[in-house]
Amino acid sequence: MEKDYFLLEDGKKRIETKFSENGWLTIYESNSEDIDDQSTVFCTLISNKKLEETEDKYSWPFLMGSEGKPSVFGDNSYKVNAEEGIEPFIFYRSFNLPEKYVTYFDISEEFILYFNLYEKAKDKKNRKFYFIDELGHLDEVLIVEPKSIKVKLRYLKEYITLKEMHFVVCFEFMRLSTELPTEWKITNIDKTTKSSNHTYNHLIRHVSEKKQSWILGKVFIHPNKEKKSHFDFGDSKNEEFIIGFDNDGEEILEDCSETDGNHFKVTYFKKEVLNKYYNEPTIYDVDGFSVGCKYFRLKIDNNVKDYVPVFLTNLRVLPHKEQLHWKQYNIQPQNNMNISGTYYKTMIEGNWAEHPETADLFFKSKYEEFNKKWEKKFGWRLYKPLSEKDKYLFTSLHKITTNNVKAFCEQTHTVVKLTIERLNEKELVRNIDSGVKGSIAKFEKFLESNSMVIPDLFEFLRNLQSLRSGLIAHSFSDSNKECRKALKYFEITDENYADVLEEIFVKSFYTFNTLEKHFKLDE
């Protein structure tokens, strides 16, 4: 045993940090396996009056196991807490069952209910409690383990602030040693240390044939100076966004709260603002007129190629964290910026536009529309439905906003998956030579059998397939001859990935239009 260890210097450091680390406060701890090295941490809430009575005393204001439970007194009077001014935060529970003895800790139900904490439990001794925010994100608040309980300090501080109480972490550290080196020069002490945040006594003495080092005391967690709730009971905070310029050329910022005369003010965002939502298609969905999830739905104009216009007051539907996401992509308006004709017809005039204006949204719209028309004509779909696990691909399909090869590869893969790989080969070969191999070849033979020869279309499809086949970890294989031909066909460089993907979208819905016209699907 080292000298500092016997002198409980590690325990003193924890006292100085008020048992908090990385935003978490230890409110229960038990280490009693080693009779010569034991520690206990417990807690309670106390009133202002009780704080004044006990802050100079290092003794605990309660006995563990009798920490303020509901009590009935001799005159049959009932009290929620046995001692006035002391309120338990954790409850020691014990049950002497016939087959075994069961113990565990419960947490103050008032605290759980105040934050509406969600519990995940392996068993009573292993539980976690989460706060669920306005976007459905889970934030750990309480961790209950067999030998330890921790609470996130900012939640506890809000709770005791609103209750106008103080939180007391009570502690006891004790170490015993049969023999101490004489050069340590350790003598008996009985010293009490006080500050505004703690009071404790350090006792060193002989106990039987051992030397004992013992610290007993408590740390005070005081409420915040200002009452502030985790929940917003008043008007929600709305961020400011750029709506124009003043006469000096400075940006004009206005918050998105609704006022007279600002309903049709427009603010603009980089297209990249939507990447967050496209990248999580199981949570969010994006179309030409909105982006949303189960927690919010924001009206947007997603029909413009290079930016996203939004009516300023629409942004107020977003939770504050989400407003901050949009704010970082807010851009200055330019003279040529405006909302799209599609958005104007639909959202302002109330006349539903026929099609979206951007290539990606137009492709998705035509894909579904064409497939329905084809099925009505032939009784089967040209493109088979995606499997359940692949449905997110259609949702997440979008044009890319930067020349990012990874994003280009992912979106190109999706286009191939939706078109070439979903061709209904079983139906295509019903009336053609069954010896034809490959979905593209079968599709070509099917069209030829219906008096339709379009070599340019199949040159595009084969090169698109080759491009997909040549992908290796978001790059292109130099050893793949067909891939090299595809790179040349699409004239791909490191600077034009976004433009090439646009071309792929355009040629794909041209395919739908050509087939639609030849087979007279609108008749």
Query: Measured between alpha carbons, how far is 335 from 485 in angstroms, rounded to an integer?
Result: 42
Q: Encoding tokens for residue 26? A: 């230890």
Answer yes or no: are the C-beta atoms of 366 and 507 closer than 8 Å: no
Domain C-terminal end among 187, 221, 255: 221
Q: What is the pLDDT of residues 86-127, one digit of tens each?
A: 899 998 888 999 999 999 999 999 999 999 999 999 999 999
pLDDT at 314: 94
C-alpha dist (Å) from residue 10 to 25, 174, 177, 189: 16, 12, 17, 18
Among 34, 44, 30, CA closest to 146: 30
Is 233 inside any structural domain?
Answer: no
pLDDT at 232: 56
Domain count, the chain: 3
Range of the domain at 191: 3-221
399 and 442 part of one domain: yes
Ranking 414-418, 452-456, 471-475, 502-506 by mean pLDDT, the lowest is 471-475
Grade residue 83 by pLDDT with cuts at 50, 70 and 90: confident
28 and 161 part of one domain: yes
Answer yes or no: are the C-beta atoms of 296 and 318 closer than 8 Å: yes
Residue 235 reports pLDDT greater than 60: no
Q: What is the pLDDT of residues 414-459, one digit of tens each?
A: 999 999 999 999 999 887 776 788 899 999 999 999 999 999 999 9
195 and 86 part of one domain: yes
Residue 230 reports pLDDT greater than 60: yes
273 and 199 part of one domain: no
Q: What is the pLDDT of residues 2-35, one digit of tens each?
A: 899 999 999 999 999 999 999 999 999 998 878 8
Angle between helices 481-489 and 455-469 (to 10 degrees): 120
Higher-pLDDT residue of 241 and 61 is 241
Please provide the average confidence, as pLDDT, over all residues in the chain. 90
Residue 162 reports pLDDT greater than 70: yes
Is 228 inside any structural domain?
Answer: no
204 and 305 part of one domain: no
Residue 463 reports pLDDT greater than 60: yes
Query: Measured between alpha carbons, how far is 306 from 384 in angstroms, rounded to an integer?
Result: 32
Q: Stretch 249-272: mean pLDDT, rounded?
A: 88
C-alpha dist (Å) from residue 212 to 60, 172, 194, 204, 298: 20, 13, 22, 5, 66
Is 20 inside any structural domain?
Answer: yes
Q: Stretch 269-294: mean pLDDT, rounded?
A: 93
321 and 394 part of one domain: no
Residue 473 reports pLDDT greater than 60: no
Residue 142 reports pLDDT greater than 90: yes
pLDDT at 474: 59
- 142-154 burial: b if 16+ Cβ within 10 Å, else e: bbbeeeebbbbbe
Is 202 inside any structural domain?
Answer: yes
pLDDT at 65: 64
Is 234 inside any structural domain?
Answer: no
Q: Which amino acid is at 74?
A: G
Among 313, 312, 440, CA closest to 382: 440
Task: Using CB atoms within 10 Å of the CB of residue 164, give its burial: 0 to 12 exposed, 13 to 18 middle, 19+ buried.
Answer: exposed
Grade residue 66 by pLDDT with cuts at 50, 70 and 90: low
Q: Stretch 355-363: mean pLDDT, rounded?
A: 87
Q: Stretch 163-174: mean pLDDT, rounded?
A: 96
CA 272 from centroid of its chain's CA atoms: 19
pLDDT at 353: 63
Answer yes or no: are the C-beta atoms of 401 and 275 closer than 8 Å: yes
Residue 347 reports pLDDT greater than 60: yes
80 and 211 part of one domain: yes
209 and 293 part of one domain: no
Is 227 inside any structural domain?
Answer: no
DSSP 272: G
Is 482 inside any structural domain?
Answer: yes
pLDDT at 68: 62
426 and 457 part of one domain: yes
Is 230 inside any structural domain?
Answer: no
385 and 506 part of one domain: yes
Among 418, 420, 493, 430, CA closest to 458: 420
Grade residue 164 by pLDDT with cuts at 50, 70 and 90: very high
The sheet carrying 285-286 orders its strands as 285-286, 290-292, 297-299
pLDDT at 500: 94
266 and 320 part of one domain: yes
Grade residue 354 by pLDDT with cuts at 50, 70 and 90: low
CB atoms within 10 A of CB 108: 15
304 and 386 part of one domain: no
